[in-house]
Chains A and B, each alone.
Chain A
Amino acid sequence: DTAVSQTPKYLVTQMGNDKSIKCEQNLGHDTMYWYKQDSKKFLKIMFSYNNKELIINETVPNRFSPKSPDKAHLNLHINSLELGDSAVYFCASSQGLAGFSIFFGPGTRLTVT
């Protein structure tokens, strides 16, 4: 009965590869997010979707492309991976855009070699 789930949990890949991270929430929330946490634990929002519509797109390289097939899913595809993309990526969800009580997934640790 996991609220926000992500797959895979760990992802090790080489520079230049393309990879995807999947996210699903079973909370019935209408807003989903992707966050990036770097090695110093700084947390930065990347994208926010509300009812499958892109709301927030922070200064993220075009190599990152989110896709929301429905309100319960928000996947992240990354093209041409670079060393600097190594981080932990968190999917999250909330009800509404107000930013209250965000539920986070367990994270995907991406390592680019």
Chain B
Amino acid sequence: AQSVAQPEDQVNVAEGNPLTVKCTYSVSGNPYLFWYVQYPNRGLQFLLKYITGDNLVKGSYGFEAEFNKSQTSFHLKKPSALVSDSALYFCAVRDDSNYQLIWGAGTKLIIKP
């Protein structure tokens, strides 16, 4: 069965430091992977996706994600965190049986000044 896991409920980072939010996946075929962000009391917003090609994917707000096939991971990264990056981040993988997204449980990212 296809699945996605976000092993950390919460990640704390000081402003200006690099951040990583982890995601691992399990799929039967080629993975289609996504990151979304949810700010407080808002709907989710698309950040970036990996379909094929370069393992380093660049997205909105300076975020990027690294696809690692051997480790079945798709970690979200940013070189220098901003307080405004504080939000809930969701990783998702597409279920090829019905094209719907399977969502991770979300990781709360807290950036401290």
Per the CB 8 Å criterion, the residue count for chain A at the interface is 23
Interface residues of B in 32-65 (CB under 8 A from A): 32, 34, 36, 38, 41-46, 49, 51
8 A Cβ contacts from A38-78 to B: 40-45, 48, 55-56
Min CB gap B6→A, angstroms: 11
Whether B46 pairs with A107 at a CB distance below 8 angstroms is: no
Q: Is the CB of A99 within 8 A of B46?
A: no
A105 to B44, CA, bound (A): 8
Majority secondary structure, B binding face: strand
Report A-chain residues with C-beta under 8 Å of the C-beta of B32: 98-100
| Residues of B with C-beta under 8 A to A105 | 43
Answer whether residue A97 sits at the interface, using C-beta atoms and an 8 A cutoff: yes
Cβ contact within 8 Å between A106 and B100: no
